[in-house]
Amino acid sequence: MYNNLRHFLFVLPPLLVLAGIGYEHTCALVRHTWAKGLLTAVILAPGLAAILWLHPYEYSYFNSLAGGVSGAAGNYDLDYWCTSLKEGVEVVNSIADYGDTLQVFGPLQSAAPYARADLKLVGRGNPLGEADMVVVCTHRFGRRWGTDGFRLVYQVRRGRAVFGEVWQRDTTDSPSPSAYNRELARH
């Protein structure tokens, strides 16, 4: 609600001061330096592990009390900046044929820098019939764009949280390696 945490930022400094006071008092009770280091590592480990696991989507972090991003999925906005479009476009780059049309359901400017030069990028305002591939920011669109005629080929996810999806036009022909990938294999 209200674009996540920004309306509650004023509470964070006093909470950090209280946490610091509690940490200082706890460390005063511990005599050995190695034990203070161990205590610090135990306190920091869960947050650091989650940040490493979520990379590059650290801003979608939810603590374990909320069930992490898996528990927050569907209840909170996770990838509201649609940074998952980069990973989705990189997948499209590896499987799309030369000159395919990629339709982006999300901010086109977030996907364009990562697309192969031969791909034709179009936004969500274009007719879906032109698209060979579709990359979707699920935060904004989910499956509300009409998936008929397309098959899901990749999900950008962490745990049960799906940040983005890549869809390919479903053809009745047998699958063959893309022309772009055949060209790469020759070199």
HEC assignment per residue over 23-47:
HHHHHHHCCCHHHHHHHHHHHHHHH
Kindly state the average pLDDT of the residues 141-149.
82
d(CA 78, CA 66): 13
Give pLDDT, residue 173. 53
pLDDT of residue 145: 81
Give 99 or 175, the one with higher predicted confidence.
Answer: 99
pLDDT (0 to 100) of residue 177: 46
d(C-alpha 73, C-alpha 89), whole Å = 22
**Of 76-80, 165-169, 181-185, which one has max mean pLDDT?**
165-169
CA 162/CA 142 separation, integer angstroms: 9
Average pLDDT value for the chain: 87
Q: What percent of the chain has pLDDT over 90?
A: 61
C-beta of residue 115 within 8 angstroms of C-beta of residue 38: no
What is the reported pLDDT for 171? 83
The pLDDT of residue 121 is above 50: yes
C-alpha 41/C-alpha 119 separation (Å) is 47
Note the pLDDT of residue 5: 66
Question: Does pLDDT of 3 surpass 70?
Answer: no
Topology classification of domain 84-172+179-186:
D-Maltodextrin-Binding Protein; domain 2 (3.40.190)
More confident position, 140 or 91: 91
pLDDT of 37 above 90: yes
In this predicted structure, what is the pLDDT of residue 7?
73
Residue 185 reports pLDDT greater than 60: no
Burial 125-156 (b: 16+ CB within 10 A, else e): eeebeebbbbbbbbbbbeeeeeeeebeeebbb
Within 13 Å and on the Cβ side, how many CA atoms surround 5? 9
Span(s) in the chain for CATH 3.40.190: 84-172+179-186
